[in-house]
Chains A and B, each alone.
Chain A
Amino acid sequence: DAKTTQPPSMDCAEGRAANLPCNHSTISGNEYVYWYRQIHSQGPQYIIHGLKNNETNEMASLIITEDRKSSTLILPHATLRDTAVYYCIVRVGNSGYALNFGKGTSLLVTP
C-alpha cells in the first residue's frame, strides 16, 4: 500500500468546515483513498473512499486532486462529536487485506 502523510493535529471551530489534507504521492492506479476516524476509546469508523472522482456522502466529502497525489476530507459543518483521529489510508479496493493505519490527524473541534 502506498504511504500517506497527514498533519499530526488540527483545530476547527464548531459549525465551520474541517478540511483534512492527505498526501499520497506514490499512489498506484488501482489504489483507492479511504478515510476512517477513531473517536477516543472506540473502534475506527469508516467515513468515505474514492478512486479519482470526488465523492460525497452523509458524513463528508472527499476531494482528490487530478494527479491523485493528494486528497482532502471535508466535514462541512464540524460538531464537537467530530473530535477524533482521522486516518487516510491508500489501498487496493475490495482486496480483502487488512488496513495499515498511519498516525493520522487528531482533529479537535472547539466550541
Chain B
Amino acid sequence: GAVVSQHPSRVICKSGTSVKIECRSLDFQATTMFWYRQFPKKSLMLMATSNEGSKATYEQGVEKDKFLINHASLTLSTLTVTSAHPEDSSFYICSVYPAGEYNEQFFGPGTRLTVL
C-alpha cells in the first residue's frame, strides 16, 4: 500500500499563533488529498478536499480563511491553522487517494495539535 507521512506528529502552540501541518505521499503522486479533524472520542470529520494546482474545497462550517490549504505539488499538501485557539486543539489527519489501481484511501499517522 501507499505510504503517507505527516509532519509534525505533535505540536503545542500558544493561542493566536499559526501552525503548519504537512502531508506527504511518499511513493506515488496524488492529485487529491483530504484533510480530516478528529476531536477526542469522536469520529473523523472531513474538513476539506485538497486539489493539486487549484483551490481546496471546504466542507460546510469549516472556515477557509482559518484553515489554509496549499497543494503545491503532487506529493505535498499543507494545512495551516491560522490564529489558533484552544478550540482548534484536535487530531488532524490527511489521506490520499491514488486513483487508478487502488480502491482504498491511505491515511497519514495524524498530527496532534494542542493550543494553550
Within 8 A of B (CB), among A23-75: 32, 34, 38, 41-46, 49
Q: A98 and B109 in contact (CB under 8 A), knowing A41-B91, A44-B93, A49-B104? A: no
A43–B46 contact, CB under 8 A?
no
CA distance A101 to B34 in the complex (A): 13
A102–B43 contact, CB under 8 A?
yes
A43–B93 contact, CB under 8 A?
yes
The smallest beta-carbon distance between B39 and chain A, in angstroms, is 13
From A46, A94, A98, name the one whose CB has the most chain B CB atoms within 10 angstroms: A98
A45 surroundings in chain B (CB, below 8 A): 107
The smallest beta-carbon distance between B33 and chain A, in angstroms, is 10
Within 8 A of A (CB), among B66-108: 91, 93, 95, 97, 99, 103-108
Binding site for A on B (CB under 8 A): 1, 4, 6, 32, 34, 36, 43-46, 49, 91, 93, 95, 97, 99, 103-110, 112
20 inter-chain pairs at a CB distance below 8 angstroms, sorted by A residue, are A32-B103, A34-B104, A41-B91, A42-B109, A42-B110, A43-B109, A44-B44, A44-B107, A45-B107, A46-B105, A49-B103, A49-B104, A94-B103, A96-B32, A98-B34, A99-B34, A99-B95, A101-B43, A103-B43, A104-B43
